[in-house]
Homo-oligomer: A and B are copies of this chain.
Amino acid sequence: MSNYSAQQSSISENNRSRILQYLYHNGICSRAQIAKAVGLTPAAITKITAKLLAQNIIEETGDMEGDKNRRSIGLNLNCGKYHVIGLKFARSLVQIGLFDLKCNRISLTDLPTVSEENINETVKQIHNTIRHLIAKDEKIVAVGMAVPGPYLIEEGHTALVSSMQGWRKVNFIKEFSEAFDVPVFVEQDARAGALAQFLFNPELSEGSLAYYLLGEGIGLGIIDNGTIYYGAHGTATEIGHISVDVNGKPCDCGNYGCLERYCSANAIHEMLNKQPYIVPGCETMTHAQACAALFAKNAAGDEATAELTSEIARYIGYGAVNIINAFNPTHIVLGDIVSQAGQPLLDEVKQVVRERTIPEVSCNTEITLSTLPTDATVTGAAAVAITNFLEHPSMFFDVA
């Protein structure tokens, strides 16, 4: 294909995608409304929607009230007609969810807790579970996977998984990209989480969005004016490895004082194991269970937990200050395991931000707790699949 015709073809795909995205975000619309919103001529809209109708990707919904009281026919994206699979890899947690295009969850499977020893077994279980889901449900059009960062996009694997290095050896692209009858898309977990916030929470889609993942690792996904920030090779926005103390605790990445050494679920569990009187029995719990037990005791007013939970929150606040200075986002959304500490955590994070930033700068950033379900990353994995479906329709349908 020549440069010129390639460009024309990418313009067509881009127009098709903008129409699908507009219908996705706005529900039933007339052709005239779409033309106005995406800045194309009515003739172009008629031509493109005819092809989408022929493929049954969109449908006509009958008469609706148009501009100036003219009647017009509504168009609607067939969101219920398609399903996607979202798969979350954390360190010890693997979850596989089945969703429709509006991210309503149809089913969720938790695989057994992963350890260094059973990573290969886990990979086999993933293959089997996804194959089984696809065999049973012909509506499934794509698989999205959310993996820990720093994820090297071109190479297909994570450069470092602190405290569980075995995951480094799994090449997600080689292992899964051709494994199923539907396309597979891999994304760093916090970016997947940011996509979920962006798709399913319209209030967060304006400006610059930061999803601050507080899970087994600490991650960050930035969507700046609609564009995900990757850097040169996909390893940008690694807030968990930005040091808060260059003379602090050593990290597997080679750095000292990495944020995730102070406030990830793993770091919190490590601290609890050293002071087992705070959460008795914590050594036999998963990281998520140990954190949940700590936050429950703190919420019940237990004094022994107050200092530790406040210190954890302050470190999360130091990370938020770094996010503001580095990325100047409109929104910071706190999500995943540690965000379950809830309002007391949010209050302390906001307090640290008030103390440690220039008011004129930080007044432009709103900090909130995620309103998506706890497993926001598995929702994020589904969001990765849905985003690709909306952005690259020609991968899924014959639209020529």
Contact = CB atoms under 8 A, between A and B. Distances in A.
A12 interface: no
| Interface of A (DSSP majority class) | loop
A340 B306 CA distance: 49
A9 to B, nearest CB: 11
B326 A364 contact: no
Copy number in the complex reads: 2
Contacts of A305: none
A118 to B, nearest CB: 25
A328 B232 contact: yes
A152 B360 contact: yes
Contacts of A364: 232-233, 235
A231 B356 contact: no
A39 B9 CA distance: 12
Contacts of A358: 150, 159-160, 253-254
Interface residues of A, number: 54
B232 A357 contact: no
A377 interface: no
A321 B244 CA distance: 12
Contact of A229 (B36, B229, B234): B229
B150 A361 contact: yes
Interface in A194-246: 207-208, 224, 229-239, 241-246
Contact of A242 (B159, B229, B326, B330): B326
A39 B7 contact: yes
Contacts of A207: 232
Interface string A327-356: 111100000000000000000000000011
Q: Which of A150, A257, A328, A355 has the most CB of B within 10 A?
A: A328
Nearest to A255: B356
Interface in A1-47: 3-4, 7, 36, 39-41
A286 interface: no
A49 to B, nearest CB: 17
Nearest to A257: B245
A7 B35 CA distance: 12
B361 A235 contact: yes
A368 interface: no
Q: Which of A159, A237, A356 has the most CB of B within 10 A?
A: A356
Given A4-B39, A208-B232, A238-B325, A254 B330 contact: no
Contacts of A82: none
A326 B326 CA distance: 7
Contact of A4 (B41, B150, B237, B361): B41
A284 interface: no
B247 A245 contact: yes
Given A4-B36, A233-B361, A242-B242, 8 more contacts: A3-B36, A7-B39, A160-B361, A238-B326, A239-B326, A243-B244, A245-B246, A246-B318
Q: Report the 4 A-B pairs with minimum CB-CB distance, sorted nearest first.
A: A231-B328, A236-B328, A255-B356, A208-B232
